Amino acid sequence: MKWLWNWRQRQTLKILDDFFPNLLTGFRVAEYNAIFSAFPRAQVLSAYPHYASCIGEYARVHPEYARRVNIFEPRALDDCGLAYVNFLNNAVLFLDALESKAIPFVITLYPGGGFGLNETESDYKLDRVLKSPLLKAIIVTQRVTRDYVIARNRRSIPIHFVPGVVVNPSYFFPSVCRRKSENNVFHFCFVAEKYMEKGLNKGYPIFIEAAKSLALERENIHFHVVGNFDSSDVMVTDIANRIKFHGRLMTSELKGFFSRMDVIVSPNQPFLLHPGNFDGFPTGCCVEASLCGVTVVATDELKQNPGYCDGEDMLIVPPKSSVIADTLRNLVDHPDHCFSLGVRGQAMSRMFYAPSRQIGPRLNILKDMAKRHGVAL
């Protein structure tokens, strides 16, 4: 019987993505590998333009999963019984293909990736996805996202609030410990991807201004920048001998990097990259740094703090270079306080971002959807 043949043929979970298998996307690697482990037949179908240049490195690091990552083409969905996507733009990118084959899907709606608040283009995309009868569940990671989607969710699609992001399990096993500052020398870092001129939305110019202010009066401070930034973005001539640009680093490299840092500074500002755009709090880089015991100094303009205590677990500041410079100066003057902030922050981050609280709920949602739609576990 044709219906029985179709059911038997459509028992696979497919993850659809436009950036994987690039190893620079640490949270995707952690999440998708966990899904591979939980769903032995699951696959990733990638629309990443540079797939060919990345799959070899992914295969070297994760050979057990490499054969389950392939280039997207519509016919690869023929055996798909359930699809999973991260980010609004990905949902829109693959929506026509999913609807043409009547494939139910689940989305995690992270900040960014085409999603913004009160933005015409984003609202159009979001409404297009929410109206699809094939959308079966939405995972949201920030309270502001949850409230925004609830207001537009006219079909009563299940919304699951899982605050945070999936983190590579290597940050937990074994526990990573940061050393205390040696010889009263401090290392402050800025870690982000540049998506606009000067990295304005990430607060890179603010970090540099604070660095310049501190460098004038303190010789025991060094500054580090990770990401696609260089000395041409903002003039750093005055601190050229005190700042180092590390380029982009993968998770395996970031752990070693963070083990040498004292403080990470994240002066993010919403609505600058484009109207409505915002980042989650803390950013993924801040989470990874905190899991290594690095003290976090960050902005939280949208009040998204999941439960860190300002002044005890981290320091929440406005996006002003003068305030950030004063904050960092105080940490240098009180190194024991700086270290204890990192220790307490690490304990909170290990609780908030533990696999049982991040990937665990996501897997449970996917398993429930899989059972409902006859997808093999």
Instruction: Judge if the upstream peptide bond of residue 282 is cis by omega within 30 degrees of 0.
Output: yes
Angle at the Cα of 208 from the Cα atoms of 228 and 322, rounded to 5 degrees:
145
What fold, for 2-166+355-372?
Answer: Rossmann fold (3.40.50)
Q: Give the pLDDT confidence score for residue 181 in this predicted structure.
A: 66
111-121 burial, b if ≥16 CB within 10 A, otherwise e? bbbbbbbebee
Is it true that domain 171-352 has CATH number 3.30.70.100?
no
> Residue 185: phi, psi to the nearest 5?
-105, 130
Which run of H or of E encompasses 55? helix 51-61
Q: Give the pLDDT confidence score for residue 251 in this predicted structure.
A: 87
Is the CB of residue 83 less than 8 Å from the CB of residue 111? no
C-alpha–C-alpha distance, residues 325 and 208, integer Å = 10
pLDDT 10s per residue in the chain (377 long)?
Answer: 343 334 445 689 999 999 999 999 999 999 999 999 999 999 999 999 999 999 999 999 999 999 999 999 999 999 999 999 999 999 999 999 999 999 999 999 999 999 999 999 999 999 999 999 999 999 999 999 999 999 999 889 999 999 999 999 989 876 666 666 667 899 999 999 999 999 999 999 999 999 999 999 999 999 999 999 999 999 999 999 999 999 999 988 999 999 999 999 999 999 999 999 999 999 999 999 999 999 999 999 999 999 999 999 999 999 999 999 999 999 999 999 999 999 999 999 999 999 999 999 999 999 999 999 989 87
Domain layout of the chain by residue ranges: 2-166+355-372, 171-352
C-alpha–C-alpha distance, residues 335 and 181, integer Å = 8
pTM above 0.75? yes
* Identity of the amino acid at 286: C
CA 294 to each of CA 171, 199, 263, 300, 353: distance values in angstroms, whole numbers, following the listed order:
13, 22, 5, 18, 15
Could you report the per-residue pLDDT of 360-369, keeping only the tens digit for each?
A: 999 999 999 9
Q: Give the pLDDT confidence score for residue 308 in this predicted structure.
A: 98
C-alpha–C-alpha distance, residues 27 and 33, integer Å = 10
Q: Give the pLDDT confidence score for residue 177 in this predicted structure.
A: 64
Q: Give the pLDDT confidence score for residue 376 in this predicted structure.
A: 80
Angle at the Cα of 333 from the Cα atoms of 328 and 334, rounded to 5 degrees:
95
Instruction: Let me know if the fold of 2-166+355-372 is the same as that of 171-352.
Output: yes
